[in-house]
């Protein structure tokens, strides 16, 4: 439902596979990636769900806050032209 345009942030992202490799993060560190994409034609009225899968960790995640591995994009035809 979307087409990759670009990305910025930590690590390396391969748009063809959707794999984001970030390497080592310090115990208090954060890694962020921003991916820009365009919504494909014909998706109006649909919900597109972006889901994180296949996370590989070499250490235990001690954060007790539950992870949120998916986010929804609701596509509509709202236009506000002035």
* Domain regions of the chain by residue span: 2-74
Report whether pLDDT(4) > 90: yes
Report whether pLDDT(81) > 80: no
Rounded CA separation 79/60 (Å): 46
Summarize pLDDT for 21-67 with one digit per residue, the tens: 888 888 788 889 999 998 888 888 899 998 887 777 777 777 777 77
**Cβ within 8 Å of residue 13, ≥6 positions away:** 7, 19, 20, 21, 33, 35
What region does 45 belong to: left with phi over 0, alpha with psi -120 to 50, or beta? Answer: left
Q: What is the pLDDT of residue 12?
A: 93
Rounded CA separation 70/8 (Å): 20
Q: What is the pLDDT of residue 77?
A: 74
Mean pLDDT value of segment 73-78: 81
């Amino acid at each position: 439902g979307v087409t990759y345009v670009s990305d910025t942030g930590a690590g390396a992202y391969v748009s063809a596979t959707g794999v984001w490799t970030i390497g080592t993060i310090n115990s208090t560190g954060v890694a962020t990636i921003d991916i820009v994409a365009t919504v494909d034609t014909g998706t109006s009225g649909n919900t597109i769900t972006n889901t994180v899968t296949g996370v590989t960790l070499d250490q235990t995640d001690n954060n007790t806050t539950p992870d949120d591995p998916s986010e929804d994009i609701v596509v509509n035809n709202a236009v506000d032209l002035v």
